Structure 1
């Protein structure tokens, strides 16, 4: 009875047995010593396995839980098979000693003891909170540098070191490599069993908790990722199994438990979403650089502070420094996250996690790429880091996913950055990106025009594609003329897609012709900074006198800047379909930029000799000058025609009647009325053209005279109608005057009669 109430006394107890021929070591705890059989303990303890590999005579165990008395109980249990007393006072000491000694057998015995099986739900919750940090400390899945740790342990076992901190003397003898390898494998087995046993014990305790005591909060988020995932699964199972009876009886059971047991220490309760994010955030802080990790740990102090932090987004610095080796451990927790409640930075991390486990190119039953794509679409608009996943190297998100968020303006900026890396892309990849994403999905959105089609990058892409087409057209043995730096990346050659690249270049040319201002030299806007308005740069400059000075000789136009037209990558045949389309779409400046291209083409090739008349006539018809209203372009066209006519009529000129007729037609096609008369005072402007111009100038005067005559005739008719109205009014006025005179005479007669009547009446009264 005395031992039952106060425990068993250690006085008079025999020390643990040391078998004959076995190695003995004295364990020193707080100055007290106890000799134990290391060879026996090495079979069940990782700590004594390491001691066994040295010549140390002592093994100091600093701060051993429960002191030497508790170690004596453990040694008697492990060596002599004594019964281990697991009570309320010893249970926590035994658990801590388990991890210090790396003895999974001891933890199994504690969990299978009658005391552990008879624990109340709330006591199990407290013990669970106590052992959860040990699961995170021992689990290799939570270690970012697990491979480095194992390698370091192998080096440590291959060369016996000294335990200077514990007072152990190192061995002077070397260890055989095979023996060192065997010791390493045994130690690794102990560590593996230790974290497996610890996680199994934690999950077992969690499964035995009542629903009211199973609270997801900061105290349960301290375990390993595997244990946290199991806790979330248990929580989900409890929610699915909860019925009406359980819900109805829960207040009664909670009231009884609060009366019988002490209340739980947990102050914060989270749902599965917040709990999963918090578990991942702890691991990110642990794997972050020291400066970020220390700040994150300081922020996590206190449950209420952790709860406040759980409802905020993860810092961008911590998100950017997260390594793939850390993120790949989060896969089991991602399934418990609510995408609609995700913060922007968290979204980027989880997308990276899903894509690490299953790249988009692979197809598995897990469907991680599909989950990642849905998350990318749902969070793209609100997360800068998610947008960066599409273009920032290394970019794990396929560019094709941008088609899902094409309605957002930032999608065009992301695609522009992706296209900017075209020189490091494979030809097939580039073609798929342009054809299936840019041309198929983005063209119908206005932000694509302002961001992508107006950018200088499109000019480079068209040049690269057409340069690839030029290479494909070159026959074997032919040498393509050198034009400086190659626009087509060298590794595209030989991939048998050069014809496809040329086709895409032509399509890009068609859709971007207006936005690129005809692919002529100009100042491109900085589309990524939001400046989508570009001022046109110098294209052509007429070297001529002022407009009020006569210019009898044809003037020359200087070409400034360089462009794809100058390199021969863009040609007039490529322009023809675009100009035909411009005739139907007169509301767009297609024809205007086309005329600028034609005039630049003519002046760029001008070296004292003008274009042949038949070819010039074809270009003139393509330009559709009859619709041109730009005075500067008309002036350039006039000067070129003057030079062509002078060369045609000069010595050695190939004059023919057909050529002269064509020259006259080209002169007549341009509207010379918008130019000053001094520009036409030249012998190289045909007289017929001057006559036509006079007739054209006379037409407005004749038209004005006709309009004036019509206005005078209408005014005359109007005056006649007014005169007729006046005569009618005069007649009516005369009639009124006659009636007035008659009325006055009648009034006078009545007045006389009335006076006579009154006079007679007065006389009769007298």
Structure 2
């Protein structure tokens, strides 16, 4: 009776049994010794399995929870099968001893004890908070921050490490490597069973909590990522099953569900949680703890300071991640977050969090519960946060690029999308040919081409010049027959790994399309200063060409030679005049764009670059002249170049070795007449190689404005004469009307006079009658 009430006395208890032939080791706790059977304990404890592999005679366990008395109870339970006393005073000591001894059997017995089954919801919540840090310490996914979660003393860890190392070395030195491997596998099995048992115990406790005690907060975020995911699933299940009646009756049912513990439920202290999170914040906080644990020491120490205290953690949970923490996150860390991402609200994500979760979702692509794969959710995040997050934008081009370039089509309206695509295209040398073609055709030319920021950022960049050269170089390789020699250009523009692929013709066609759409923005692909598209500097000084060697006010009887400066794709032969013809035809239909202007510059550069003392054949020159459409040209510099080239061609044609014919001279005259020489100074035409017919036409052209002026003046005089005639006619009509008025006036005066005389006669007669 007394032993039942007060417990069994330690003095009267027998020490644990040591079987014959088994190895015995003295356990030292607080200066007291207890000899135990290591061979039996090694079957259920990872700690004694390591001790078994060493020659140590003592096993010091400093600060063992509950002291030697508690260890004696545990040893009796494991060795002799004695009943384990699990009470309010011993439950926490037994749990801590479980992880110290690495004994999953002990934890299972504690969780299946009558005491554990009779716990109230509040007490289960407190024990759950005590267990959760051990799940993070024992889980393989969270092993990096085990030291921060597990309350183990440094001396114990040192002893375990030395025992393991000594045991492995001794086994190998004795010539038994198979024994060492078996020892390692058994130890690994204990560790695996330990974290599995710990996580099952935590999940079981969480599932038995009442709704009022199941509070997602900093205290529940200390467990492993797997346990946190299970807690979130339980929370979601509770939310789905909760209704008005259930919520109203839950407090009452919680009091009466354990008839033997009604008083304990009523007397439980309230939970100490100060912060309550929803699933979104809880998932983010669990991931943030993991990131802080795997971050470099400088960032990890700062994050630990930020997490001190529940209120401080709540404050940090409502803020974005530091950019440095996101940049240092490894894929091995992010892949552990896949289960938690499903509980995150995309609409509430901060920019840096979005970049991190996009990386996480792309590490594994599996169908989600909503029917949308992880890549679909990641693409939705990318579109929603691209404009506000620099890290999300970097995902498009940072190597290795986790985000497919096709996703940039979703954010094409944002100017930064063009900058991101430009950076992606800059890595074309490391792409496969088909990948490059798909990127340009389906993204650049299909989605981006209609936006103004694409013109200023991509089409005006020097990169487009390189891309066109690379594509056309690939086409030249495809056109080369076996045995043909391609002229060497030093470093080839086409990447070496593109050679021999069946897409070379596709690349050549793609280069032609790029040439057409970017001809104006690249200023005809002539040498010029390209703008800095990332800084937004759009200033272009124009093509770097030295137009003339002589001044305009100096007479130049002999033809002048234009000096060509710089190098471009036209000089390398990658761009040819036949490629220019469709563009010039388009320029004649769209005269408001400077297509014809840049086309004439290309033609003149082509003529002067090929010039080596002799001039182009007249028939070929005539076709180039017609292509340039000189009749619409108003640029005096280009007209001067054309004049000087015609002067040299005419002099060579009329020279001793010239192939003069009437048709050739007629073609020269037509080419002279095609250019507007009136914009040039008279000194430029003072040369014997400018035909007199051209001078006559120039005089006629100069005379034409005066003749037109005189004609317009004569027309004005004729109109004035007609106007005067109409005025004279009006004056004559008015004179006739005036004469008629005068006649009527005379008649009226005579009638008035007669009336006056008659009136005077009447008055006279009246006076006489009155007399």
Aligned to 1:245: 245
Q: Which has the larger displacement, 465-474 or 541-550?
A: 541-550
Q: Give the alignment's Cα RMSD to 1 decimal.
A: 4.4
Q: Is the 8 A contact 2:367 2:373 kept in 1?
A: no
User: How far does residue 686 in structure 1 lie from its aligned partner after superposition?
Assistant: 1.2
Q: Rate the CA distance shift 1:51–1:211 in 2: closer, same or farther, 3 A.
A: same
Q: Rate the CA distance shift 1:15–1:680 in 2: closer, same or farther, 3 A.
A: same
User: How far does residue 572 in structure 1 lie from its aligned partner after superposition?
Assistant: 0.4
User: How far does residue 321 in structure 1 lie from its aligned partner after superposition?
Assistant: 0.6
Deviations 1:38-65 (CA, angstroms, capped at 9, x unpaired): 1111111111111111111111111111
User: How far does residue 146 in structure 1 lie from its aligned partner after superposition?
Assistant: 11
Q: Rate the CA distance shift 1:359–1:685 in 2: closer, same or farther, 3 A.
A: farther
Paired residue total:
763
User: How far does residue 370 in structure 1 lie from its aligned partner after superposition?
Assistant: 2.9
Q: Which has the larger displacement, 142-151 or 69-78?
A: 142-151
Q: Is the 8 A contact 1:124 1:205 kept in 2?
A: yes
Distance 2:190 2:52 in 1: 14
Q: Rate the CA distance shift 1:131–1:748 in 2: closer, same or farther, 3 A.
A: farther
Q: Is the 8 A contact 2:516 2:583 kept in 1?
A: yes
3-state SS in 2 of match to 1:306? helix
TM-score, length-scaled by structure 2 = 0.90
Q: Is the 8 A contact 2:171 2:179 kept in 1?
A: no
Q: Is the 8 A contact 2:557 2:688 kept in 1?
A: yes
Distance 2:151 2:242 in 1: 48
Q: Is the 8 A contact 1:28 1:61 kept in 2?
A: yes
Distance 2:651 2:394 in 1: 61
Distance 1:557 1:217 in 2: 79
Q: Is the 8 A contact 1:162 1:170 kept in 2?
A: no
3-state SS in 2 of match to 1:213? coil
Q: Rate the CA distance shift 1:181–1:369 in 2: closer, same or farther, 3 A.
A: same
Aligned to 1:506: 512
Q: Rate the CA distance shift 1:573–1:372 in 2: closer, same or farther, 3 A.
A: same
Q: Rate the CA distance shift 1:652–1:167 in 2: closer, same or farther, 3 A.
A: closer
Q: Is the 8 A contact 2:171 2:180 kept in 1?
A: no
Deviations 1:224-283 (CA, angstroms, capped at 9, x unpaired): 011011111111111111123123435767999996431111111111111111111111
Q: Rate the CA distance shift 1:748–1:189 in 2: closer, same or farther, 3 A.
A: farther
3-state SS in 2 of match to 1:556? coil
Aligned to 2:423: 417
Structure 2, unmatched stretches of 5+, are 257-263
Deviations 1:598-654 (CA, angstroms, capped at 9, x unpaired): 000001111111111000000000001111111111111111111111111121211
Distance 1:310 1:401 in 2: 29
Distance 1:523 1:442 in 2: 24
Q: Is the 8 A contact 2:145 2:293 kept in 1?
A: no
Deviations 1:172-206 (CA, angstroms, capped at 9, x unpaired): 97462111111111111111110000000000000
Q: Rate the CA distance shift 1:19–1:763 in 2: closer, same or farther, 3 A.
A: farther
Distance 2:598 2:616 in 1: 21
Q: Is the 8 A contact 1:59 1:167 kept in 2?
A: no
3-state SS in 2 of match to 1:54? coil
User: How far does residue 37 in structure 1 lie from its aligned partner after superposition?
Assistant: 1.4
Q: Rate the CA distance shift 1:302–1:361 in 2: closer, same or farther, 3 A.
A: closer
Distance 1:158 1:62 in 2: 12
Q: Rate the CA distance shift 1:253–1:268 in 2: closer, same or farther, 3 A.
A: farther
3-state SS in 2 of match to 1:159? helix
User: How far does residue 369 in structure 1 lie from its aligned partner after superposition?
Assistant: 2.7
User: How far does residue 502 in structure 1 lie from its aligned partner after superposition?
Assistant: 1.2
Q: Rate the CA distance shift 1:156–1:750 in 2: closer, same or farther, 3 A.
A: farther
- Answering whether residue 36 of structure 2 is matched by residue 42 of structure 1, we say no
User: How far does residue 359 in structure 1 lie from its aligned partner after superposition?
Assistant: 9.8
Match of 2:714 among 709, 722, 725: 709
Q: Is the 8 A contact 1:142 1:329 kept in 2?
A: no
User: How far does residue 412 in structure 1 lie from its aligned partner after superposition?
Assistant: 1.4
Distance 2:579 2:132 in 1: 71
User: How far does residue 751 in structure 1 lie from its aligned partner after superposition?
Assistant: 15
Distance 1:312 1:761 in 2: 127
Q: Rate the CA distance shift 1:747–1:353 in 2: closer, same or farther, 3 A.
A: farther
Q: Which has the larger displacement, 99-108 or 242-251?
A: 242-251
Structure 1, unmatched stretches of 5+, are none
Distance 1:173 1:543 in 2: 90
Deviations 1:60-87 (CA, angstroms, capped at 9, x unpaired): 1111111111111111111111111111
User: How far does residue 4 in structure 1 lie from its aligned partner after superposition?
Assistant: 5.3
3-state SS in 2 of match to 1:168? helix
Q: Is the 8 A contact 2:137 2:149 kept in 1?
A: no
